[in-house]
Chain A
Amino acid sequence: MLNLPIIRQDFKINRGRILVMFVLQMVSMLMAIGICEMKLIEISDIFWDTIPVMIIPMLLEMLLAYETITRCGEEGTMDLILATGIKPQKILFSKIFFIMVSGIVLVGAATLLGCLTRVYRLTGEWNRNSYLCLNAGAVGLQIFLGGFSYWMACRSGSLKKYILTGALIPMVLYGIYVIYYRIPQLFFLQYITVFSLFRQNWFAKGSVMSWIGIGILLILGILCFLLGNRAFYDHNFPE
């Protein structure tokens, strides 16, 4: 199902970008630890659970979906890869694998650092188990976001189109979630953003709702991958 040379090529092309995101994530976690010492719990939350496990992996997946699919098509490398005679499904699966593993490894790295530095003790309601559950749930969110970026990357033939869809839509949805989070009176906003399916407080309480939300995100993510494959075929092998 996988073609290792494709994954290796994508890694070599994107290793600089992955490293930058990894460094940003580590800096964010270290800032969380520092802020904890200063007892600024409310701010530190952003640096230990929002930026490292949501924002940075999301940005990385967006970037990798563009680099491995849209840009690869724009610059003609995709035609050369297709010309090798490798099955298109295998090419796509290798690309999806690379995008997803990169995002999940990033979440894993944040989880590991969080456990090692006991960052989950920043607020009283969290323990290590709920912290691990939260990060496992974040993987579900990343599968959805990766799937969505992949779908949009397969649909877009250029950077401009990709920015308008694959990058802008998740950003807007996240922005809506932040507004809802800050102004709970605007409760209706939670129904128009998928980010409300991943709520930290559900995990802290050990709520079943957290896993239902993640289940829905996983299903939506898989659906996005299928739609992406369809878009890729329509784009590269039009009937």
Chain B
Amino acid sequence: MIRFKNLTRSYGPGKGIFDFSFEVEEGEVFGLLGPSGSGKTTALRMLMGFEEPTKGRCAMNGKDCAKAGLSLRRITGYLPENIRLPQELTGRQFLKSMAQMRGVKNLERLFELAGELNLDVDQRIGKMSSADVKKTGIVCAMQHNPQILLLDRPFEHLDPKSRSVLVDIILEEKERNHMVLLGTEDVNGVDMTCDRVGLLDHGNMVYLGDIEDLRDNMCREYMIQFHDARSTIKFSKEKFEIKTMKDRNLVVEVQGAVKPLLQALSAYDVTEIESVPTSLKETFQHIYGGRLHA
């Protein structure tokens, strides 16, 4: 289990992370979602034992990360943010030497993973695209089959196909009862992989909960088609936020429960009602007041 208890690491006002308290269970994928500078990297680095808490503590498998960093790092796979790696080596040379450092003898899984991600390991890192460098880092983080996986911006630079492969890999890790903690700005990546999510803003956790709960509590949009244009105009004067209106159709935004909308609509002749898919990104933008980076 990963546990944060009142964890604070302050670099000044609004910089760092403040009073984090949450847990990640075995077999759970947890997403730390927030814009750049919101504290995702700091949280992951603290789990790796690279940063000391100003206050509180964080622990993995019951061991304090600041004190037992060495033993915890052996069972953890870590992908740092913005890695570039040594340009002089090929992907194969780099991955092999990192595996040797860890004492990993069986390199089958390593190159199997590289194959899954469509990574050409015989290419020099200096000539690799940023997506391939990221893939090399992901393979490196997972080469020893770690119980805990900490991935900082894993979806960044990846093409849609590789993203989908990475999503499958993360979900496989979940099935194997491993813990995965993602730090990302990628709302769709979180949507596809995470069980729970923590929204970060300037080092503060502004929301913590299941992704489904979050969706249920947030704004939703409905496209409503009325029998005639007069009804449409009449409904637009009700106490609902109208996003768009055209002919007999209008899109209405509802925050929280949908019951009041349905009650109001019972007085009208409605021919069609349909939920407009709201992306998680829009949902989070609502919480952040538009501050979330695209």
Question: Which 8 residue pairs across A and B have the least CB separation, nearest first?
Answer: A76-B83, A85-B74, A75-B84, A5-B100, A85-B73, A83-B78, A9-B97, A79-B80
A interface with B by C-beta (< 8 Å): 3, 5-6, 8-9, 12-14, 16, 72, 74-77, 79-87, 236-239
15 inter-chain pairs at a CB distance below 8 angstroms, sorted by A residue, are A5-B101, A12-B89, A12-B93, A12-B97, A13-B86, A72-B86, A75-B83, A76-B80, A76-B82, A81-B98, A83-B48, A83-B77, A83-B141, A236-B50, A237-B49
Asked if B58 is at the interface (CB within 8 A of a chain A CB), the reply is no
Inter-chain contacts of B74 with A (CB < 8 A):
84-85
Given contacts A12-B88, A76-B85, 18 further A-B contacts (CB under 8 A): A12-B93, A14-B88, A75-B84, A75-B85, A75-B86, A76-B80, A76-B83, A77-B83, A77-B85, A79-B78, A79-B80, A81-B98, A82-B48, A83-B48, A83-B78, A83-B80, A85-B70, A237-B49
A13 to B86, CA, bound (A): 7
Inter-chain contacts of A237 with B (CB < 8 A):
49-52, 69
Inter-chain contacts of B88 with A (CB < 8 A):
12-14, 16
Asked if B102 is at the interface (CB within 8 A of a chain A CB), the reply is yes
Inter-chain contacts of B50 with A (CB < 8 A):
79, 82, 236-237
Partner of A86, one of B52, B93, B101: B101
Contact B85 A85 (CB under 8 A): no
Inter-chain contacts of A14 with B (CB < 8 A):
88
Residues B35-65 near A (CB distance < 8 A): 48-52
A86 to B102, CA, bound (A): 8
Asked if B140 is at the interface (CB within 8 A of a chain A CB), the reply is yes
Partner of A82, one of B73, B77, B141: B73
Asked if B189 is at the interface (CB within 8 A of a chain A CB), the reply is no
State whether A80 and B137 are in contact (beta carbons under 8 Å apart), knowing that A12-B89, A75-B86, A237-B50 are contacts in the complex: yes
Partner of A238, one of B51, B85, B97: B51
A83 to B101, CA, bound (A): 10
Asked if B71 is at the interface (CB within 8 A of a chain A CB), the reply is yes
A82 to B74, CA, bound (A): 10
Contact A84 B97 (CB under 8 A): no
A10 to B48, CA, bound (A): 24
Residues B86-143 near A (CB distance < 8 A): 86, 88-89, 93-94, 97-98, 100-102, 137, 140-141
Contact A13 B89 (CB under 8 A): yes
